[in-house]
Structure formats: structure tokens, C-alpha cells
Structure 1
Amino acid sequence: MFKCNGFNPILSDEPKCMVLGTMPSVASLEESFYYAHPRNAFWPILSDYFKLPIESTEQKVALCKQSGILLWDVLSSCERQGSLDSAIKQPEANDFASLFQQYPSLKTILFNGKAAQNLFEKQVTKKQALPDDLVFFSLPSTSPANAQLTFENKRVLWHETLEQVLSK
């Protein structure tokens, strides 16, 4: 088991939604940035949705900030061998109560996979004071470990939800 520490959030001045993963993968921790595994579909899906090339870390941060996407993970730290969510032990959640106080207009959470939603329900909703009017969308994990859906299926579901959330 290795102690893993997550990243600071990528914050938009006026976030329209928050995308939450569980905890950065080994590849992401090595690169010190979100969704860094070359086969993770997250950045290709966003690049396709916004019709923008996003390859550098700076482009990824700029895209999130300009589009109103707050990017974070449910956990601030955990113990884990490898990258699988099923291997997470000793989870410690991020401070969402403070985040929602700082951004009271933020009402929508997009979970990047069912594991992120389950961790949020167990580690956050039962332990932190959150706004009553949050809206949740559970999307398929963009991780390469999620082989149940093709890239195209993931892309369509993510695009439909982004359109619904970001066009408000």
C-alpha cells in the first residue's frame, strides 16, 4: 500500500459544474495532473466537445477555467496499491462544505464513474454539510479500466450531459 495524495482543484471563477473522480491514478500522480493516463478518455472527450485541441497542461487548465468546469476528486488522500478504485483503503475526503460555501452558485456535480459517486455518498454526504439543492449526474468512467463501454459510447453520454449542464 502506498499513501496517495490528491491534487488541488482546478477552479473556475464562476463554476457551472464540478467533475469529480475518485483519486488520481498512478500515471496522473507521476505527471502531477488530472487524467494523465494516455488511454484515459477524459481529455479527448472534452477536446471533441469544445472542438479545441487540448494537449498541454496549460491548455487543459485554461479549458476548465473558461468553460466553467471545476475539476477535483472526491478524496484528498488514501492508501492504494496501483490505480484501481477497488484498491482504495483509508479514504480521506476533500472539504466540500468549504468549497460550496466559497461557490454558492455551484449546484451540479458530474461523477466520473460510479466509484466516485459511491465514495462521495459514503465519505461526503453523510459527513459534511452540503447544500440541499445539489444536482448529480453519474457518467461512465473515462478510465481505461472501464472497458464496458467504447470510447464512442462514453463520448456520447458525456457530451449529452455537458450540453445539458453547460448551456444553462
Structure 2
Amino acid sequence: MTLLYSFAPIADENARILILGSMPGQASLDAGQYYAHKRNLFWPVMAELLQFDPSAGYEERTAALRAAGIALWDVLQSCKREGSLDANIEHATLTVNNFAEFFRQHRQIRHVFFNGEKAASCFHRYVAKADYPADLICQRLPSTSPANASQSLAFKLQAWQRIMDVK
């Protein structure tokens, strides 16, 4: 099994909110883009919340996040995993991203939203409390992954509205 690597964060100096996934799925890794699977609801949800065209190009969509003060990254820097499911991540192989350095460079971030349970549990388990601000507010949101199809788009939109409440 090959070691998989995540992407660099999408963030600028104006970021106030960080959205964290666990590790990109295979479609995203193949495309070199966050949330590239055609059935992942991340971009449709963000498009609705931030009022941009969900069919816009990747650069336009990521620019809309940055303009809204939202950064995007993954908890894991690397891991081995069969397929795309978080449940298949081999825990002995995972490495987390350098959050101490990230938060040093993005001092305005005070809210972290996790895209699903795996991102939240990995962050809380593997990222040292000394590596992020003591007053950081963390909230788990329902996963936008197609593997979480039991929850409707409407349900996810309502839950993800919390991002706009702190923006």
C-alpha cells in the first residue's frame, strides 16, 4: 500500500476560520484538488453559504473561501489507506500536519470546523494542545463525503450554517 500525502493548506493572512478534513479521497488526490469527488457536497454547501457558483473553476471556488476568511486543510499530512474511506486509514502510518506552525502563521483563526468525525477525532487525538491557541473553538460538522449519504443536503446546509454564524 502506498503512502498518501495531503495538500498544502488554502489560507491567507485574513483567515479567521479553518475547515479541516481528515485526508483527501482518491478522486481528490487524482485531481490535486480538495473535495474533487463529484458527489462530495463540500463545494455545493460552501457555494450556497458564500453565494458563489458551485460549477465555477477550482481557483474561483478557493478564492471565494479566502475572500470569506476561510482556510481549508486536512488533519493528516500522510497515511496509508486502501480506497478512500476514513475507516481504512492505517493508524500506525499516519502523520499529522504541522499545526503549531500553521497557527503561528495564521494568528486570527479562532474557529475550527471539522468536516466529519474522523477529522475531529484525529485532531483531538494526535494534535498536541500546545500546538494550537488555548481559546480555539472547535466544532464537528456532518461530513460532506458521499459515504455520508444518509444525511440530506438540506440537513448538511443547516448544520454548516454555523460557519456563517461566526464569520
Over the aligned positions, Cα root-mean-square deviation in angstroms equals 1.2
**Do 1:12 and 1:66's aligned partners in 2 also have CA atoms closer than 8 Å?**
no
Matched, 1:120 2:123: yes
**Do 1:45 and 1:158's aligned partners in 2 also have CA atoms closer than 8 Å?**
yes
Q: Which runs of 4+ in 1 moved over 6 A?
A: none
- SS of aligned partner of 2:61: helix
2:155 corresponds in structure 1 to 153
Q: How does 1:33-48 map to 2 (within 5 A)?
A: 33-48=33-48
**Percent sequence identity over aligned pairs:** 39
CA shift digits 1:48-69 (9 cap, x unpaired): 1122103211111211110111
Task: Output the amino acid matched with 2:66.
Answer: K
CA shift digits 1:55-93 (9 cap, x unpaired): 211111211110111000000100011000011111100
2:139 corresponds in structure 1 to 137
In 2, the alpha carbon distance for the partners of 1:115 and 1:141 equals 9
The two structures have a TM-score, normalised by structure 1, of 0.93
- SS of aligned partner of 2:147: coil
Q: How does 1:91-130 map to 2 (within 5 A)?
A: 91-125=94-128, 128-130=130-132
Task: Output the amino acid matched with 2:112.
Answer: I
Aligned residues: 164
**Do 1:96 and 1:130's aligned partners in 2 also have CA atoms closer than 8 Å?**
yes
Structure 2 stretches lacking a partner, 5+ long:
none
In 1, the alpha carbon distance for the partners of 2:163 and 2:111 equals 11
Q: How does 1:3-22 map to 2 (within 5 A)?
A: 3-22=3-22
In 2, the alpha carbon distance for the partners of 1:85 and 1:142 equals 13
CA shift digits 1:95-130 (9 cap, x unpaired): 00111111222111000001100010111136x532
In 1, the alpha carbon distance for the partners of 2:113 and 2:132 equals 16
